[in-house]
Chains A and B, each alone.
Chain A
């Protein structure tokens, strides 16, 4: 059983298109995250949701819109894709966002390639 799953694993698309990446966790966690990993392997947080409420919103273009239909799912929708959006996107989850920090568990990643 996969704890944090993402679909699709690979996504190749043209500039200007709109695409979505889905994430689901079956760990019963309250908090979910989206990270972007660039070609140099640098991981940077983009968003975080706690029980469907946005709690972290880094300086990400507003073409990126996370949506959390319930606490087990956090999807990432990207409008008007640009070449610079090409990266690996990771979803993660943890039990809670506040209080003593908690381990974040990562999904397998979605490799997005914008042509």
Chain B
């Protein structure tokens, strides 16, 4: 079946450290992956995306790595700040033309001052 999952439900890091949030997906035909950040009481907010023809994509303080061989996705946050505390979701877009995204369970990132 379709599933996208994250390895750890909660990740606690010290302010200033780098954070790595992992995600495993099951559909090898998925062509697009997105990371969303959801702060308490708010809707998911787009962070960064990557298409399946890429291995790495960098944004401002964030990097997404895609390993299609093992169907693994990761989000790296450099110099983690208190404002990064949130739930992070990976999502995959399958091969359909409907725009349907399948979300993982989410990882809660806690940043300790």
Contacts and interface: CB of A to CB of B under 8 A. Distances in A.
| A and B physically associate | yes
Interface of A: 4, 31, 33, 40-45, 48, 55-56, 90, 92, 94, 96-109
5 A-B pairs closest in CB distance:
A106-B43, A97-B99, A98-B97, A101-B32, A43-B103
Interface of B: 31-32, 34, 36, 38, 41-46, 49, 51, 87, 89, 91, 93, 97-103, 105-106
Nearest to B97: A98
A72 to B, nearest CB: 17
A31 B99 contact: yes
Contacts of B91: 43
Contacts of B98: 48, 55-56, 97-98
Q: What secondary structure prevails in chain B residues at the interface with A?
A: strand
27 contacts: A41-B87, A42-B103, A42-B105, A43-B89, A43-B91, A43-B106, A44-B103, A45-B101, A55-B98, A55-B99, A90-B44, A94-B99, A97-B98, A97-B99, A98-B97, A98-B99, A99-B97, A100-B32, A101-B31, A101-B32, A101-B51, A101-B99, A103-B34, A103-B49, A104-B99, A106-B36, A109-B43
Nearest to B32: A101
B31 A109 contact: no
A90 B44 CA distance: 9
A111 to B, nearest CB: 9
Contacts of A48: 98-100
Contacts of B106: 41-43
A48 to B, nearest CB: 6
A4 B45 CA distance: 12
B44 A96 contact: no
B99 A108 contact: no
A101 B52 CA distance: 11
